[in-house]
Structures are given as structure tokens and as C-alpha cells.
Structure 1
Amino acid sequence: MAKTTKPFPGEPPTAGGPEGPQRTQVVVIVRPGFSPEQGATLLANAPAAESVSFRPLFNDTPARLSTLETSAEPAPDLSVYYVTEVPAEQADPLIQSLLQREEVEGAYVQPQATLPFIETAVRSAAPDPSVPVTPSFVDRQGYLEASPQGVDAVFAWTYPGGRGANVQVIDIEGGWNFTHEDLAQNSGGLLSGVQRADWQNHGTAVLGVIGGDTNTIGVTGISPDANLRAISVYRDAAMTYNLPQVIQLAADSLRPGDIILIEQQYSHPTLGLTTVEWWPADFDAIRYAVSRGVIVVEAAGNGNNNLDAAGYNTALTGFPATWRNPFNRANRDSGAVVVGAGNPPPGTHGRNAETGSGEVYTDRARCNFSNFGSMIDVQGWGWEVTTTGYGDLQGGPENEHYTDTFNGTSSASPIVVGTLACLQGILRAYGRIPLTPARAREVLRTTGSAQQAATGRPLTQRIGNRPNLRQLIPLVLQTNTWSGVQFTGSLGANATGRWYTFNWPAHWHVVWTAVPTTPVPGAPQLKIKTQVERASDGFITYWLNVTNLSNRPLNFEGRFTVLGW
């Protein structure tokens, strides 16, 4: 496949800002053990070596990144990633030079993101001088209502914690208005990075969907009690772009069970707009976050593309030999929840037709722009989303802007984030273990209001179901208790043996005992020590060390009790 070494058309340059000198980032993947000090040697004979920077892609010491212990499946080795910045025309020669070096496993151009929403004509909405304060627009937020129309956030709010209390969310993109009148109660502001003014409305709209304030004006978010913060993909005044590092920074700022939202999409050089995890560094950054127990919600992208297409099996030049297509989760799995965009009910806001096609909305059918495929887990509204920002529903001062036309997988993804924040808030309020990334994906895929077909968009073009909190809440709160015998064993006199049992769901609480089957009164017969392996985000392996304390052989049962799930 032809290699691409310049920013894709319509994307911002890597460095220098929208009007500055265009420089391209090249991601370099080195063999383990490589140190930053070796960078000068690596680039000694590279084209334009005198103008090439070389630094770790991720924000920590290589030693810590490669040895960090995690709470779930082993984290990837982020210490092998470095980045250089060169003039765009010198990227190809640099990549070719680097790929000749024994220390280099891969080198490719870091793509630049676009926002996953659809540009539409914005209606002018001058302020009404007869209205002294912003009215309530909650009746226009159909996505809050009961299924199948919405996710039934109103039902979640009847539970303790159901508004997302004690849940942290970090939105990853490039701009927000944190002084908006309806984002005052639980906004933690910008955690890191530099804002881009032309992305501000988008981020403001995303935050309003998740956490618009509970009050009598404007909108109410799905999880208005969640703490919302943001990290910008632009790292400095030169607008240096680094999504992988930002994902890592967000993960390090959150607890297990908290949520990251990735509001970005990349452009594949031949297949169009697509999901960011297809690129190696972005995939490993997401997997790093998931390995820490943080739920990552990722927009599927607005390319109208089949993510199961064979073209995605072909690596770009410079990808490492170990790369496999992550859109096929049998190859490898980032652990993210991937969100497609579905149509709202027809007649929402008095409008019936999809922009660009004129086709009447079929509720929960795939939007005409949404990517689709077997990896997509769940859908949210892709049109007609009422939220903060833009000013087409209410104009006037910027802090009083509202829209009812937010769209794309951009609007779908925060709907899913808000749903998950409601669930995590309820679980924490009940003293329960929050959903792991794997469990979050599982419950979203197995519940909800079913996807529907539309003309030219059959159910085989999967975007998943629309979440339904009335189904999800009892599912995640359910408890069950039972006991059983998992295995039997024999031990000689004073001997110790080890047994293991695997694929136990990580959200189950399991207690193990070893019980002799032959009565011998007078002294203890067996001792058991349980060791636990987090084999993956979703499954536990138990290692059971059993010691015969007696001076005669004995048989025993390995018994389990599930205390809750």
C-alpha cells in the first residue's frame, strides 16, 4: 500500500499552528532497551539530521513505562515509542533511513485528527430580548427519555448515584468553553494542553451531553453529577499534536472505573475516515488505559466505511512486523468501547430527513455517514442532539449558546459515556465494584434497543444497540450466591500440590476452600492458599496451593462459593 508522509487534506499541520511552518511527526518504534541517548546515533546519517528532533512519544521514563504494574491485562511497553518532527517533504526519506536500522522495528507518519461530526448549515439565532434568562431545552433532549427513544437517563436518576456521582470523565479533543452558563457545577476544566479556538464549540457540545448542569435553564446532561475534565491533543503553542500521549496522561489521572472519551478520527490513506486505534501507537495507548481499569469510549468515525473490509488487514509501510488489524478482535483487542451513530426517531425537532441524503429517519438505523462493522459495540444518536454550544438554537453571548443539531459519532459517543457514568455512579453508591472495561462492553452489547435496518443499510452493517439504562441497571446490580465443586485432588502425606482454574469472570467475587473427603478427627488436615492472576481485563485465573498437613494420603474437593456478580 502506498505510504503517506504528509498531513491528509484538510487536516492541521503537525507543528507550527494552522498558519505556521508545516512539520510532520514520524513515530519510531525501537527495540526494547533503547534509550533516548541513542537517538543521536540513530539519526546520525538520517536525511536532514541537523533539523530532526527525537524524543519519547509518551510522557514518562522508559524504565517506568516498560515495567509499570497494572490492575488488568499486562500493559503494552510504551517505552519503545519515540517521535521525530521533520519538514513534511523529508518524512519519506527519514522513514526509509530509519527502517534500515537494526534498532528500529517500525517508523510511520502520525496521522492528524479531524472531529467526528458533520458540518451543516448553522441557523442564525439572535437573542430574544423578551427572554431575560435562558429557557429550559430539556424537552428537546429526547435521548434522555425512556427507550426505545432514548437511553432512559430519567430512570437512572431515581437511583442513588444515578446522575454519575463519584465518577470522573476526561474528554480528549482540542477545545472547550468552560465558562458556559450550563457547565458550571461539575466541570474540572482543562487538565493539560493548549486549546484550539475552532474546536471550542465541539468540545462544549460534548460536555453538555454528558454533564450539562441540573438547573432550570438550558440542558441537563445524562450524568450531570459526574466530574468532567479535558485534555487537549495540542500540547504546546506550536500546536504539536499527540493523541497517544494524551490518552496515557488521561489514564494516569483516573481511577479504575472512570472514563476516557476519544473524540477524534483519522483518515486512512485509501479507505477514508476511520477509528484511531488502527494505528500502532494509538492502539497501545488505549490498551494502556484499559490495562489500568479505565473505560475508553472511542468514536467509530464518520467515513461511511465497513471496518470489516479486507483493506484494513494491510499494514501501512513502516508499521512493525508484529502489527495485526485491530478491527478484527480475534487478532488483538484494545479493550475500547467503540460507538457508531444511529438515527433518532423521525420527527425529532420537527425534522425527518438525514442531512445529505434526504431520507426519512428510521429510528436506530445506521446514520448515512457512520462507520460500521463487527467491532462496533453500541450506538448513540447521530443527529438532532440538543446540547451546549454552537448557537443555532439560542444565540447571543457565547456563554449562552445552545444547539439542537449536534451530530456524528461525535454526538453518539458522549451519549454512551453518560450512560456508563450513570452505571458507575450507581455501583459506587451501592458499594459495589465498578464495571471493568470488558464488563462495560459486554453489558452494552447484550442489552439495549435493537438496531434497525433502513434502505441500503441492512442490519449486517452493525452499529450495535442503543443503550437502555432500565435494562442495564438491574443487570449490573444483580447478585447471586452459589457454591460448587470445581475439581477433586489427591495429596500424599505432608505433600503440597498446585491446581489452577481459569476464565472466571473478573466481576465475580469467588472464595475457595479445600475440603477433605475422608474424616480424620483430631487435627487439621488441609491448608489452602489462593493466588490470583488477572489473565485479562475480563477474566481471572485462580492458582490454588493445597498442603496436606497430615502424615497420611488424602483426597479432597476444591470448592468455590460465588458471593456476588
Structure 2
Amino acid sequence: MSPQFAGDGTTRQVIVIVEPEIGLRSETNGIRSATGADISSLSAVLANDSITLEPLFGQSEERLRSATANLAEETSEPVPDLSVYYQAIVPAERAEAVAEQIRNQPGVAGAYVQPQMGLPFELNAMAPTQQATPPITPSFVLRQNYLDPAPVGIDTAYAWSLAGGRGAGVRVIDIEGGWRFSHEDLLQNAGGLIGGVQSTDLGWRNHGTAVLGEIGGDANAIGVTGIAPDANCRAVSVFRDASFTYNLPQALVQAANSLSPGDIILIEQQYGHPTRGWTTVEWWPAEFDAIRYAVTRGIIVVEAAANGGNNLDDPVYNTPLAGFPASWTNPFNRANRDSGAVVVGAGNPPAGTHGRNSQPNTGEPYVDRARCGFSNFGAMVDVQGWGWEVTTSGYGDLQGGSSEDTWYTDQFSGTSSASPIVVGALACVQGVLRAAGRIPLSPARARELLRSTGSPQQAATGRPVTQRIGNRPNLRQLIPAALQQSSWTGTQFTGTVPANQTICWFTFNWPAHWHVLWTVVPTSPFSNAPQVTWKVRVTRSSDRFITYWICVTNLTNQPVNIEGRFAVLGW
């Protein structure tokens, strides 16, 4: 199998999106409509090319509809209908023609060819040394400068000084294609593969091993130590079966269903845009909706911005690909729509890291926290991590030998090396909050704090700070900001409730992480009987905001003036 793309190149995946009203059902002998819609034309096209449609998310349409309906009821948020997505595996040379045929059929909202995907192997081509492995691996922690105090690193020592600050009680799922779970530095809290099948390719395996080492490398006297070594790190593979069928959306949903609010998913993938090269995956419809599903469940999704060196604000991204549904809008402009993911760019390490002042492969001078030349950038990029010189498990260029279980590198790079740093930082924060008996950060709150704290991005020649990749996390700022609490009271509204009637007031844009109590107090004097009662109803209008509905009932036979008072108990 090629290290760049899934499969053997003879087939491609066509993503099909149907209109929900036709109630499409995929069965062993073809398709049918649960609503009685005429799907004969679509059936004929599929039959002529011997094409089988299967639910993209791996479950029956009924289960997917039930899951999304239940989630919408629990959260009072709109949830993407995942049951309308299907996949068809077709010969590569016929993929575009098949997609065009399908999308022209009644009841089909869209049909497009799944983009080529890949990992940044061009940045991570390190070969293992042939030197014999020492009897005991030495400690490489002093080479992990991204652990250092800010602004050089993210200041893990501060987090580790606090209860829960090593990520205790936090679960992380890494989504990519391969890992070495038997590695000597991934034995304490790595939970293994919980979905899909591993690639047999060494490039995938090294990559996943390096990512897990950054986040959760064992806290011991050998090798590296992860940023959040007490976090439970598991994996879901993008390859869903023994044929290495690639399906990132299904992997995302499986990961989300395996986690609880406050846990973390890492997406270590990038897709090839036809004219711009490597691009952030949420630009594609199925991936966006899968991320949105996870975020609605309260899972923090950390997404690599990708390594195309592209401006994600470029108007070219406003133009959908052929076969995208008419409802699609560019998610890189969050005013259009927002997946809720934390998007990570790659920044340079300080000059002198590992004795180098520039990247040996590219000659790129190191200006600390300046955008790496390969990193995508733009307004939607939230935060940066180290994009070069990351010391972690895998590859073997720092310590090699005959066994992959003792391989280490100090050259891991890309938005692939940057994103695990952010995951680790968030795991430390969530661990501290859990240990303090506080609710964990929501996806929206996590992103807000990453943007408002940290060591600022710097400029380099040809890479001004207007090419946004965000700040580098600083746990000494981030954790106190997450723990900060304040309380106050006030009057939000006044009004008059007619005799024996009920009137509702609503008030919106209350931050979702605030704890708010409501009280309604009559201001018209009355004696000997209760005057009003009230009920508070709540809508979570988005990841960030709550709308409260306060319905006041007048229990008397005369009008009552009232005040709606609030008490913020903490935030």
C-alpha cells in the first residue's frame, strides 16, 4: 500500500448525499424508499454499473436517525442527519463519471469523489540509525523543549504541579492509520486500537507512534514523557476493513460515540484540494458533519490545519467542488457555519533547538512562533504548536536499532507534530478541572481560551503575523483562565403579568459555561397569598451560548409587576 493514499489506486470512493425526504434504505438486494418515493432512476443507474450504496457511517439508517434525534433532544442543538450519507467503491477511472451520473438523479442532493488523503511523509522521512540500541534507553526529556516554560514551550511543569494536571481522567482518541502500541514508552496508559484496522505501512505506524508519544508518552526514566502522561490514549483507524477502505467520517463518529463530554479527538489527516493541495479536512461535507456531530456531543475535536502552505481565507475555497450539495457553504469562513473544531497551525521552534538555527531539509530559518512555511494559515486557525524539531517516540533517527519498540526521533514535524501539543495541553487543563470537581471545558470554551491566552505568534521574512496560525499554548495562563470564577447578581428584565395569565420572557447569548440561577420577584404589594410562580426553560443555541425562557404565571386576580433577577454563581 502506498504511504500517501488509501487502497491500491484501482478504486475510489464516491460519497453520495440523498434528500432526507426520500427515506433511502440500502439493502442487500439494492435500494428502496421507506417513504414510497420514486427512486427507479437512481436504482437503474446503480444497477447498470453494478454499484452498491452503503451507509457512509457504517450503521443502518434507522440507527443513525435515532442517534442524531436523541442527541438533538439532549442538547437542544441542531445535529447533522448522518443517515443521508452513502459511499460507493468504484473503479478509479470511472469515479468522476459515476459521481456525475448519480448526482443528476432525482432525490440526490450531492455526489462527489472522496479526495485524496495523506500524511506529511514528505516532512517526516527520517530513517532509523543502524547503531545498536543501548541496554537501557536514556532519557530524552531535555530534548523535548516544547515542554519548557513559555514562551519556548507550553510549561508542562506548571500543569504537573497541580492535581490532575497530567491529564488524569481524560480520554483521547487519535484518528489516523497506524501505531506501535508495543513501544516501550507507550505501555502505561495507551488503550490500543478500538476501531478499524491498522495499515501495514511503516510510515503510518511511525507517524501514529510519534503522535502518541507527544501526548501520552510514559512518565518514567527512559525515552520521552508525554505532555499528559496520565491521559488514556486510544486510536481509531481511518481504514475500516481488511481492504483498507478509507473512511474518516465513520472513524470520527465511532470515536465520538466512545467518549464523553470534555474528552478529545485528534484528526491527523489532510486532503488534497484540486488547485490548492493539502487542505484542512472539514472543507468536505461529510467530514464537516462528522466533526459537528462529535462537537455537539461535547467532545473537543482538534484538527490539523494541513501542510499546503495555503491561505485558508483565499476566495477559491468559496467555490464548492462538483457534486457538493446546494446547501454547502465554505466552513473556513466561520460566519457561514462553524464545525466547532480547534484548528492547529505549525509554528517554528526557537533558534538553537537541537543545535540548529534552521531546518536542514528546507533551509527555513527558525524564528520562534513564526509560521512554518508549509503550514496552512487563516482566520479560522485557532492555535499553533511546534512544527519542527519535536522529540518523541518512533522513526529511529535519534535512537534506532533492530526493534521499533525502542525507536525515537527528534525531527517529527508538520501540523502533525503541532496538533498533539495542543491536545496534550487541553488534556492537562481538563484533568485539572476534573480534579477540582469542575465541569470540563466545552469545545467552544476550549477554543476561546486557546485564542485569548498563550505566547503570541511572531513574524518572519515573508511570513507576517497576518498569516494567522495563532498563539502557542501557555499552561501557566491557560489553566488559571479555565479555573477562573466570579459571581454577581442583577435584574435582567421587568414587566407586568395580567391577572391569572402567564407571560414568557427570553434572554439570549449567555455563555454556556456560566452557572446561572433565575428568580422572579413581585414588586406590586399584595397580602396573604402567593402572587407568582415561574418556570425556567433552556435552549443551547450553539456551542457557546444559552438562551433562557422565563415563564411567569400570575396567581392572583389583579396585574402584578415583576422583576426577573439572575445570579451568576461561577464561570
Q: Which residue of 2 aligns with 1:221?
A: 226
The equivalent residue for 2:20 is 32
Q: For residues 458 and 143 of structure 1, what CA distance do their matches in structure 2 show?
A: 23
Deviation of 1:548 (Å)? 1.1
Q: CA 1:363–1:177 in 2, change beyond 3 Å: closer, same or farther? A: same
- Distance of aligned partners of 1:10 and 1:176 in 2 relative to their CA distance in 1, 3 Å threshold: closer
AA partner of residue 168 (structure 1) = R
User: Relative to 1, partners in 2 of residues 1:551 and 1:120: Cα closer, same or farther, differing over 3 Å?
Assistant: closer
Partner of 1:169: 172
Cα distance in 1 for residues equivalent to 2:306 and 2:420? 14
Counterpart residue type for residue 485 of structure 1: T
Q: In the TM superposition, what whole-angstrom CA distance separates every residue of 1:162-189 from its partner, at most 9, and x where no partner exists?
A: 0001000000000000000100010110
Code of the residue aligned with 1:106 in structure 2: it is G
* 8 A contact 1:68–1:75 mirrored in 2: no
Q: Is residue 4–residue 119 contact of structure 2 (8 Å, CA) maintained in 1?
A: no
For the pair 1:107 / 2:111, whether they are aligned, the reply is yes
User: Is the deviation greater in 116-125 or in 358-367?
Assistant: 116-125
Give, in whole Å, the separation in 1 of the partners of 2:146 and 2:521: 53
How far has the Cα of 1:127 moved from its partner?
4.2
Corresponding residue for residue 201 of structure 1: 206
> Secondary structure of the equivalent of 1:69?
helix
The CA distance in 2 between the partners of 1:428 and 1:479, in whole Å, is 15
Encode CA deviations 1:50-92: one digit per residue, 9 max, x unaligned: 5312111113232343323245432101111111111112222
| Distance of 1:482 and 1:119 partners within structure 2 | 51
TM alignment of 1:245-260, pairs within 5 A = 245-260=250-265
Structure 2 Cα separation of the partners of residues 449 and 318 of structure 1 = 42
* Residue in structure 1 matching 2:276, options 254, 268, 271: 271
- Asked if the contact 2:128–2:407 (Cα under 8 Å) also holds between the matched residues in 1, the reply is no
User: Equivalent of 2:475, from 469, 475, 491?
Assistant: 469
Change (3 A) 1:83 1:556: same
Alpha-carbon deviation of 1:49? Answer: 3.2
The residue identity in structure 2 corresponding to 1:428 is: R
Asked if residue 93 in structure 1 is aligned to residue 93 in structure 2, the reply is: no
| Runs of 5+ unmatched residues, structure 2 | 33-39
1:12 paired residue number: 5
**TM-fit CA distance, 1:494:** 1.6
- Structure 1 residue aligned with 2:244, among 236, 239, 261? 239
Q: Secondary structure of the residue that 1:399 maps to in structure 2?
A: helix
1:371 matched to 2:376: yes
Residue 153 in structure 1 maps to residue 156 in structure 2? yes
Is 1:430 the counterpart of 2:432 in the alignment? no
Question: How far apart in 1 are the matches of 2:121 and 2:155?
Answer: 24
Q: Which residue of 2 aligns with 1:191?
A: 194
Quick one: distance in 2 between partners of 1:164 and 1:372?
29
Aligned to 1:3: none
Q: Secondary structure at the match of 1:448?
A: coil
Corresponding residue SS for 1:39: strand
Shift of 1:47: 6.8
Distance 2:48 2:464 in 1: 52
Q: 1:301, CA displacement in angstroms?
A: 0.3
Match of 2:498 in 1: 492
Instruction: State which of 522, 529, 536 in structure 2 corresponds to 1:530.
Output: 536
Moved more, 349-358 or 114-123: 114-123
Letter in 2 for 1:232: S
Which sections of structure 1, spanning at least 5 residues, go unmatched? 1-6
Letter in 1 for 2:445: R
* 8 A Cα contact 1:244 1:282, kept in partner: yes
Residue 313 of structure 1, CA deviation: 0.6
CA distance in 2, matches of 1:116, 1:39: 39
Contact 2:42 2:106 in 1 (8 A): no
| Alignment match, 1:262 | 267
Distance 1:344 1:42, change over 3 A: farther
Counterparts of 1:124 and 1:164, CA distance in 2: 31
Partner of 1:539: 545
Distance change (3 Å), C-alpha of 1:357 and 1:119: closer
Corresponding position: 1:450 with 2:477: no
Q: Which amino acid aligns with 1:439?
A: R
1 CA distance for matches of 2:422 and 2:174? 13
